[in-house]
Amino acid sequence: MAKKIQSIKGFYDVAPERQKLWRYFEATVLSVLDQYHYQEIGLPIVESTDLFISGVGTQTDIVEKEMYSWIDPLNSDNLTLRPEGTAGCVRAVIEGSLTYNGPTKLFYRGPMFRHENVQKGRQRQFHQIGVEAFGLSDPSSDAEQILLLSRLWKALGLTNITLELNSIGDPADREAYRKVLITYFEDNKAELDEDAQRRLYDNPLRILDSKNPSMQDMLNSAPKLRESISAEARTHFDSLCQTLDNHGVPYILSDRLVRGLDYYNRTVYEWVTKDLGSQGTVAGGGRYDYLVEKLGGVTTPACGFAIGIERIILLLESKALDGLMNPDIYIVNLGDEARSKALMIAESLRDHHYNIAVNMEGASFKSQMKKADKSHANIAFIIGEDEVEKKCIQIKLLREEGSQVSVKDKDVLTHLTSMIN
């Protein structure tokens, strides 16, 4: 027997039953994105390594230790499987001059890749839907994206998700704060773990993100960046909060929220849940007004977010979502002539947008009826030798005891329409 080859650690298949939840989620989020007039852009999964070094930041976990990078032996290019989507989207906007005629609102979807420790809600190939708006500096554009996410959670029936919100100001604010924070951490150096000490002088803001229990009291007492941002950044954030208040979107002000990527400024936020353990962030984003210019474009304000699809699917799995992608009708058929008739009827009904499952196994009547019930269809069509000869079918409501009628072939669509209406 040949050796069985298994999937790579952190790279998973999506089984058909789980794929139903993916399709349900994608149909829902695409509908909401259409409501907000976002247009889809397709992006490659392989980019120049320099794009992420320049865009994401050399002092981030992603660039330091998580990227899948290699040198292409054919042309010596330094390449990376994308670990996140914003940098690639910015590259596409610059390369395609997509803001030439004014602001543009885009979204993309697909796999991302990070060499991380695998656990529930964290894997090495994961999927995101990313949403980006370019050319819009007003805080109302930040608010609109948060409102979009709030609407999405409601459409999906997800309730236990909380918005955490902060402003990290502009680069000058952070540089001044950086010095204050370094002084504070130096005074408390004995309490810093190894990772925090490594970051102390390169990226002290990231220390605020630490989940180390022994550091929490010290971190909670650290100086607050939001208290020292400029008047302009403060006005921007206050306007955002007021808009969210006007729309009844609750939020928690989180002074330690800084996000893990270097390109953010001003608004940062995360939507978190307690239902997934330590990997509770299901969406996150904010403003990045300087990234387009940093990657070679003209100065362009921008904001965006990403949704972790696998984590949303985990939340949807805990809900009772019946009827996802189930057939409307399951056709039981006995014999070759009945099978031929079943296929004819199925194609005719598909022309009218019904979802039809036809049993193709030639199994017994009892076995086929079990499969009809297991398919979660509400209606079964039964076709045997008598039905072929009499040009009729038996229609059975699978969820109602004793409900079965004989209908002439020519009347099937009319009868079906009357049943559903």
At 156-193, the pLDDT tens digits run 999 899 999 999 999 888 888 888 888 888 888 888 88
Q: What is the CATH number of domain 329-409?
A: 3.40.50.800
264 known member of a binding site: yes
Residue 321: predicted pLDDT: 67
The residue type found at 139 is P
Q: What is the pLDDT of residues 105-137, one digit of tens each?
A: 999 999 999 998 887 878 999 999 999 999 999
Residue 325: predicted pLDDT: 74
Asked if the domains at 16-170+229-318 and 329-409 fall in one CATH topology, the answer is no
Mean pLDDT of the chain: 91
Asked whether 220 and 213 are in contact (CB, 8 A), the reply is: no
17 known member of a binding site: no
What is the distance between the alpha carbons of residues 81 and 62, in angstroms, rounded to a whole number? Answer: 12
Domain extents for the chain? 16-170+229-318, 329-409
Comparison of pLDDT for 19 and 107, the residue scoring more = 107
Percentage of residues of the chain with pLDDT beyond 90: 64
Residue 209: predicted pLDDT: 78
Mean pLDDT of 56-73: 85
Residue 421: predicted pLDDT: 63
- Residue 128's DSSP bridge partners are 110, 308
pLDDT above 80: residue 30: yes
What is the distance between the alpha carbons of residues 240 and 247, in angstroms, rounded to a whole number? Answer: 11
What does pTM read for this prediction? 0.85
Residue 323: predicted pLDDT: 62
Q: What is the pLDDT of residues 306-335, one digit of tens each?
A: 999 999 999 998 776 666 678 999 999 999
129's CB contacts (< 8 A; 6+ apart) are 26, 29, 107, 108, 109, 306, 307, 309
Owner of token pair 């009628």:
405
Mean pLDDT of 76-85: 95
Mean pLDDT of 377-403: 90
84 known member of a binding site: yes
Mean pLDDT of 80-104: 96
Strand ranges across the sheet with 39-40: 39-40, 104-113, 125-134, 302-308, 281-287, 265-272, 162-167, 252-253
pLDDT above 90: residue 25: yes
Residue 252: predicted pLDDT: 95
- DSSP state at residue 274: S
362's CB contacts (< 8 A; 6+ apart) are 339
Q: Return the sign of the alpha-carbon dihedral for residues 118, 120, 121, 125.
A: positive
Q: Are strands 252-253 and 162-167 parallel, antiparallel or unpaired?
A: parallel
What is the distance between the alpha carbons of residues 227 and 230, in angstroms, rounded to a whole number? Answer: 9
State residue 58 phi and psi, 5-degree precision. -70, -20
Q: What is the pLDDT of residues 203-238, one digit of tens each?
A: 888 888 788 888 888 888 888 888 889 999 999 999
Comparison of pLDDT for 199 and 143, the residue scoring more = 143
Residue 304: predicted pLDDT: 97
Residue 202: predicted pLDDT: 79
Q: Are strands 329-333 and 356-358 parallel, antiparallel or unpaired?
A: parallel
Residue 260: predicted pLDDT: 67
pLDDT band at 419 (very low <50, low <70, confident <90, very high): confident
Residue 181: predicted pLDDT: 86
pLDDT band at 200 (very low <50, low <70, confident <90, very high): confident
pLDDT above 80: residue 79: yes
Mean pLDDT of 231-259: 93
State residue 265 phi and psi, 5-degree precision. -145, 160
Q: Picking from 27-31, 95-99, 126-130, 190-194, which range would have the lowest pLDDT averaged per residue?
A: 190-194
Residue 250: predicted pLDDT: 96
pLDDT above 80: residue 58: no
The top-scoring range by mean pLDDT among 1-15, 141-155, 187-201 is 141-155
Residue 23: predicted pLDDT: 92
Owner of token pair 């040009």:
391
pLDDT above 70: residue 104: yes
pLDDT above 90: residue 282: yes
pLDDT band at 358 (very low <50, low <70, confident <90, very high): very high
Tell me the fold of 16-170+229-318. Answer: BirA Bifunctional Protein; domain 2 (3.30.930)
128 known member of a binding site: yes
86 known member of a binding site: yes
Q: Rounded to an integer, what is the distance from CA 229 to the centroid of its chain?
A: 31
Comparison of pLDDT for 261 and 161, the residue scoring more = 161
What is the distance between the alpha carbons of residues 9 and 59, in angstroms, rounded to a whole number? Answer: 26
pLDDT band at 268 (very low <50, low <70, confident <90, very high): very high
In degrees, to the nearest 5, what angle opens at C-alpha 285 toward C-alphas 280 and 290? Answer: 150
